[in-house]
């Protein structure tokens, strides 16, 4: 199953508390909470390019499954991480104590980030 495509955010849960927990400033949280972000994923075998555009902010990450890569977090911090694939439709990684799981089912991507007992969930549909 290929992740390649463009996806528009449909819904999200726990955006504000999660962004506060990772240290995003209040003004950025308020600006970002109602913006429909667009994620573009290009998959070439085990190589991925992910571009997330939220208003004027663009976050780009490139990685190869099973290899350490530098990743940009939601708060702009860059960290080293290894992304693993589970089955043929789930990408899993750990970023500074945050477990990130991206799961593709048909035309829907569910991205779940967990920090302690706080879970932030985003659901996007292919456009």
Q: What is the pLDDT of residues 43-95, one digit of tens each?
A: 999 999 999 998 888 999 999 999 999 999 888 889 999 999 999 999 999 99
26: phi then psi, degrees, rounded to nearest 5? -55, -40
Of 1, 10, 36, residue with least CA distance to 126: 10
Residue 1 above 80 pLDDT? no
CA distances from 92 to 25, 29, 55, 97, 100 (A): 27, 25, 26, 13, 6
Helices (H), the chain: 15-21, 26-32
What is the pLDDT, as a whole number, of residue 90?
97
CA–CA distance, 24 with 13 (Å, rounded to integer): 16
How many structural domains are present in the chain? 1
Please give the pLDDT value at position 13: 96
pLDDT at 16 over 80: yes
For residue 97, give the DSSP letter: T
Average pLDDT on 21-44 reads 90
| Burial environment of residue 105 by CB neighbours within 10 A (0 to 12, 13 to 18, 19 or more) | exposed
Q: Domain containing 22: what range? A: 5-126
| Distance, CA of 105 to CA of 89 (rounded, Å) | 7
pLDDT at 104: 97
Tens-place pLDDT, residues 100-127: 999 999 999 999 999 999 999 999 999 9
The domain that contains 74 carries what CATH number?
A: 2.40.128.20
| pLDDT number for residue 55 | 81
Give the pLDDT confidence score for residue 5 in this predicted structure. 97
pLDDT at residue 35 greater than cutoff 90: no
Which whole number is the average pLDDT over 23-41?
Answer: 89
């Amino acid at each position: 199953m290929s992740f390649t495509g463009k996806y528009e955010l449909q819904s999200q849960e726990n955006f504000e508390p999660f962004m506060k927990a990772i240290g995003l400033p209040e003004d950025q949280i308020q600006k970002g909470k109602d913006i429909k972000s667009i994620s573009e994923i290009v998959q070439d075998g085990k190589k991925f390019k992910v571009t997330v555009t939220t208003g004027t902010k663009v976050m780009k990450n490139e990685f190869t499954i099973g290899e350490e890569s530098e990743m940009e977090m939601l708060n702009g911090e860059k960290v080293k991480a290894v992304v693993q694939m589970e089955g043929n439709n789930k990408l899993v990684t750990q970023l500074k104590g945050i477990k990130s799981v991206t799961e593709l089912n048909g035309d829907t991507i569910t991205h779940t980030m967990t920090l302690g007992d706080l879970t932030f969930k985003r659901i996007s549909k292919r456009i």
